[in-house]
Amino acid sequence: MIPVYSKDAEGQLRRMLRRAELSLGRPEAKIAAEIIENVRARGDKALLEYTRKFDGVALENLRVDRLEMALAHRQTPKPLLTALRVAIKNIAEYQLRQVPHSWLRKAGKRSRVGLRYSPVSAAGVYVPGGRAVYPSSALMNIVPAKIAGVPRICLITPPGRNGTAHPVILAAAVELGVDEIYLCGGAQAVAALAYGTETMPRVDMIVGPGNIYVTLAKKLLYGTVGFDKLAGPSDCLILADRTANPEYVAADLLAQAEHDTLASALLITDSPALARRVASAARGQLKKLARREVIAGALKNHGGIFVIKDRADFARLADLIAPEHLQIILKDADAVADKINNAGAVFIGPYSPAALGDYIAGPNHVLPTGGTARFASPLGVEDFIKRTSLVEYAKSDLKSVQKYIDLLARAEGLTAHAASVNRRFN
């Protein structure tokens, strides 16, 4: 089920990593562009038409009634509400440490320069629907926005066949103090948040993962509104040696593959015996899992176990892959983790599975995918905060730098820039 590569393992790994770029020239991009323009021109009417077409639901109202939210919350089992509250608490405590603070410092004798941090005015959180229900996505996107101080936060999610959002999504929104929820999905939801409609006021920032049309819509609307990142299929890399429990490793690979048939789940090990045992354990565990067809598809096309003889190559290959999730189950796990620079989140030791980070540990599970951990970071408070430069100079301090401004401006041929300073002293 999971391919095992012992001969030319690194070469095979490199071939697997040739990811197709999410090009705006692909057919889905043309469809997304048409949807965006239709929503921009026709607003709610276009949204309702697309909901009938793509979701098979004829809605009368796009916004979820608060009474419906309260009812869903009241009917949610208490143990599940407790789990939501524990997750919210842990996520909030982690995000609080990321809050930046404005500052001013002295410049010259009587002047000041500084930096002011302020939240965006409105954020839209996209929570996917379809194959699964993702209350954890609501938590991970809304909590940092709350901590950042965003005044208006709305949630948008595709409706189910019953014409409303899943009750656990509504319950999570109540726990988070968000009562503005809209029923819409796909590229049309992104367009509605970016431009606004009769029902839905526009936002300044859109966060949350979605399907290929959501991602392409983000790419097309970049510059019209702010975005977190272009999320691709989820991916995971596990580094393990003979000290690892093959049942644990297999379970973690299967958990990652559960997301989607496009999800990637990779294992690098220096132990041929562990490779065989993990492959065998995965076959046995798969039979008992509800989403086994999805998992099998992902592992067949985007999964692999690679036996690499030289342990010194582990960190190098991990940085090459730049995984969204990196699990390290090695005897010297801490030492190897210190050498790796490119990963969205690192999970160290046999009792730190990626699923822990997905739900309850506190760090955000909205992570850079598709190798973008080379330059991108997890979602956090900073994504909802703008920086504004502050400059306040006294006349004497401006006079002290006048000649330098004059020289630099004239070197660039911008004489009006020079004159705007010189005129104050002539």
pTM value?
A: 0.91
186 CB-near residues (< 8 Å, 6+ apart)? 35, 50, 54, 158, 210, 211, 213, 214, 217
Q: Write the pLDDT tens digit of every residue in 345-372.
A: 999 999 999 999 999 999 999 999 989 9
Q: Write the pLDDT tens digit of every residue in 381-391.
A: 999 999 999 99
Q: Write the pLDDT tens digit of every residue in 191-246.
A: 999 999 999 999 999 999 888 899 999 999 999 999 987 777 889 999 999 999 99
Determine the pLDDT at residue 167. 95
DSSP states of 18-75: -PPP--TTSHHHHHHHHHHHHHHHHTHHHHHHHIIIII----S-SBPPHHHHHHHHHH
Tokens of 373: 């951990």
Angle at CA of residue 391, ends 388 and 393, nearest 5° = 175
Do 4-19+232-362 and 27-71+101-227 agree at the fold level?
yes
User: At 130, is the pLDDT very low, low, confident or very high (cuts 50, 70, 90)?
Assistant: low
77-95 mean pLDDT? 97
Q: Per the residue annotation, which of 259, 302, 325, 365 is the catalytic one?
A: 325
**3-state helix vs strand vs coil in the chain, percent to 5:** 45, 15, 35
132 pLDDT higher than 80: no
Domain range list for the chain: 4-19+232-362, 27-71+101-227, 395-422
User: At 23, is the pLDDT very low, low, confident or very high (cuts 50, 70, 90)?
Assistant: low
Determine the pLDDT at residue 98. 94
Q: Per the residue annotation, which of 258, 259, 302, 324 is the catalytic one?
A: 324
Residue 335 carries which DSSP code? H
11-19's contacts with Cβ under 8 Å and 24+ in sequence apart are 12/304, 12/306, 13/266, 13/268, 13/304, 13/306, 13/317, 13/321, 14/320, 16/264, 16/266, 16/302, 16/304, 17/320, 17/321, 17/371, 19/232, 19/370, 19/371
395-403 mean pLDDT? 96
Beta strands in 170-299 (DSSP E): 181-183, 205-207, 226-227, 235-240, 264-269
Determine the pLDDT at residue 229. 79
Tokens of 353: 């599975």
CATH level 2 (architecture), domain 27-71+101-227? 3-Layer(aba) Sandwich (3.40)
d(CA 349, CA 332) in angstroms, rounded, equals 10
Query: In terms of DSSP bridges, do strands 303-307 and 4-5 run parallel, antiparallel, or are they unpaired?
Result: parallel
Determine the pLDDT at residue 41. 97
25 pLDDT higher than 80: no
324 is catalytic: yes
60 is catalytic: no
319-343 mean pLDDT? 96
126 forms beta bridges with 156
19 pLDDT higher than 60: no
pLDDT, mean over the chain: 94
d(CA 367, CA 373) in angstroms, rounded, equals 8
Q: Which of 75, 39, 62, 85 is nearest to 180 (CA)?
A: 62
Query: In terms of DSSP bridges, do strands 122-126 and 152-157 run parallel, antiparallel, or are they unpaired?
Result: parallel
Query: In terms of DSSP bridges, do strands 345-348 and 4-5 run parallel, antiparallel, or are they unpaired?
Result: unpaired
Reported as half-sphere exposure (CB side, CA atoms, 13 A), residue 346 has a value of 21
391 forms beta bridges with 113
Determine the pLDDT at residue 129. 80
Determine the pLDDT at residue 316. 95
d(CA 348, CA 70) in angstroms, rounded, equals 40
User: At 26, is the pLDDT very low, low, confident or very high (cuts 50, 70, 90)?
Assistant: confident
Determine the pLDDT at residue 16. 81
User: At 305, is the pLDDT very low, low, confident or very high (cuts 50, 70, 90)?
Assistant: very high
Q: Which superfamily, per CATH, for 4-19+232-362?
A: Nitrogenase molybdenum iron protein domain (3.40.50.1980)
Determine the pLDDT at residue 298. 93
Determine the pLDDT at residue 21. 57
Determine the pLDDT at residue 14. 86
263 CB-near residues (< 8 Å, 6+ apart)? 233, 234, 235, 236, 256, 257, 298, 302
Element (H, E) at 4: strand 4-5
